[in-house]
Structure 1
Amino acid sequence: MTARYDHVAAEYDEWVGAGSALDDPTFSELIGDVTGEQVCVVACGQGREARFLATRGAAVTGVDLSVKLLEKAGEHERSTRLGITYRHGDAHTLAGLADDSFDGVVCYMALMDIPNLDGAVRSIARVLRPGGWYAATITHPCFKTPACGDLVDHVDQSVRRTVGQYFAEGYWDGPGAHRNALPVGAYHRTLSTYVNTLTSAGLTIDQLRESPQDNPPVWREVAQLLYIRGSSRQEPRGARGGDE
């Protein structure tokens, strides 16, 4: 299977960069201390988040559908050895990863790019150990919709965000200020779809975070990103329910 990012891997790698720096303090606070933990990065791309987690002491496995982006990730690993394992795989199934095998799973800026949200979320739940944690960051579904834009007040130059077609779920050529060569489309889903999909897969939602950003000015008024952290079921897979 050819991933759409195979065609723009070089441009994407140049845009993201080779280092492990992730300028996202909200996400850093969300994941907390990962020292000594086994962490899977789903849709790892060229490995930036995997490198970030590895420098914080995690043993990291990165999975991505794009062979070309994984080649870039491998190049960065060979340049600066961090002990990261990269695997070619589909986020919908995470085939080849054992059940209950990770302390944590990270999916950074990718769930909205994955066609089958339910499949991906259930796969994340499957590979998490009982009580394991997950953290995801997505473009905010309430403020990045198929019809949205900014208005500037002609009197005081203040900025307003307008949104429309919030309930029009599906693929759209939407968010992002990327280079022209890069795909910018995503799958819009309502907030309730994300919440219900996570909980129906047996995942809790323990924290939601929204943070203002400085650029462009509208993101000081409304949230550009939504951060989610939660955990998996406590009982081992296959354990019988009911009272003892």
Structure 2
Amino acid sequence: MSEWKELTDESQERWEQNAEHWDDYMGEESNRFHRELIRPYTEKLLNVKTDQTILDIACGNGNFSKRLAELGAKVVAFDYSTKMIERAKIRTNEYKNQIDYKVIDATSYEQLSELGNEKFDSAVANMALMDIADIRPLVNSLHKMLKPNGFFVFSITHPCFQPPGLRKITETEDRNGHVVTSNSIQISKYLTSEPYKAIGIKGQSIPHLMFHRPLSYYMNLFLESNFLLDGMEEPSFQNETTKFEWHEIPPVLILRFRKNE
């Protein structure tokens, strides 16, 4: 099982409780994770053109919607958290003529259908699909919403290197007279899909729900929905400032799927 429709309401309630804290933490520029890993590689795969119409899925506090508007796009952005949308409108008020915000549940075929058919040049979801209990309605609906040859770019925590139960290991050894410190990860499972609770940022009031799915699940779902994979990035931090270095272990996966006619 890789979809948990019955957990949608709980997931939404948890994000409503955490929304204001997340917005305060992310601020105007988002955190380092988004600035160095998500934003540049997502922009590369999106290749935004002036006057394109782009759908920003699970837009959060609107920081990336604002960036899309700065690049000249017309944006339709939605989230299922009413508080997030309220904060997003405030943060991006100067772009209110370019960004149309909506409160929509990405697990609802009915609500997604309101967005229209063949309306969008591309769509994007930053670090969101692993937070959505049932992604089938979204993927199936995207094929209808995108224009011919339109594409969908999304980032997720890397399912191969960030599964539930991940352990970070730091080891120090005397190697030929030199003290060498190395970092690695230990995982005990990967193939089993499962929901779990997680803390995304320190201080959030309650853990939010995340949904682990192996990479093959994502691939097969998009192929079954008549999409073709035509871009992928696995960025890692190259200028590490924390004790645990991620130079060779990408914490995030970014994929681009193109609509196949």
Q: With structure 2 as the length reference, what TM-score do the two structures score?
A: 0.83
Say yes or no: does 1:162 pair with 2:186: yes
User: Is residue 115 of structure 1 aligned with residue 133 of structure 2?
Assistant: yes
Aligned CA-pair RMSD: 2.0
Q: What letter is aligned with 1:185? A: L
Q: Which has the higher contact order (CA 8 A, sep 6+)?
A: 2
Number of the residue aligned with 1:124: 142
For residue 195 of structure 1, give the secondary structure of its aligned residue in structure 2. Answer: helix
The structure that is strand-richer by fraction is 2
Amino acid at match of 2:172: H
Unaligned runs of 5+ in 2: 1-8, 174-179
Q: Structure 1 unaligned segments of length 5 or more: list them.
A: 235-244
Give the paired residue count: 234
**How many Å apart are 1:62 and its aligned residue?**
0.3
Distance 2:97 2:13 in 1: 26
Matches of 1:82 and 1:19 in 2, distance apart? 21
For the residue of structure 2 that corresponds to 1:50, the secondary structure is helix
Q: Output one character per residue of 1:196-242: Cα deviation in whole Å (capped at 9) or x when no partner.
A: 111111111101111221354332121100010121123xxxxxxxx
Name the counterpart of 1:241: none
| Structure 1 residue 81 displacement after superposition | 4.2
Q: Is the 8 A contact 1:40 1:61 kept in 2?
A: yes
Match of 2:67 in 1: 52
1:91 equivalent among 106, 111, 123: 106
Does the 8 Å CA contact 1:54/1:82 hold for their aligned counterparts? no
CA distance in 1, matches of 2:26, 2:49: 23
Percent of residue pairs bearing the same amino acid type? 28
Structure that is richer in helix per residue: 2
Distance 1:219 1:177 in 2: 18
Q: Which secondary structure state, in structure 2, belongs to the residue aligned with residue 185 of structure 1?
A: strand
Which of 176, 179, 204 aligns to 1:180? It is 204
Q: Distance in 1 between matches of 2:106 and 2:53?
A: 18
Taking the aligned partners of 1:10 and 1:223, their CA distance within structure 2 comes to: 29
Match of 2:176 in 1: none
Q: How far off is 1:78 after superposition?
A: 2.4
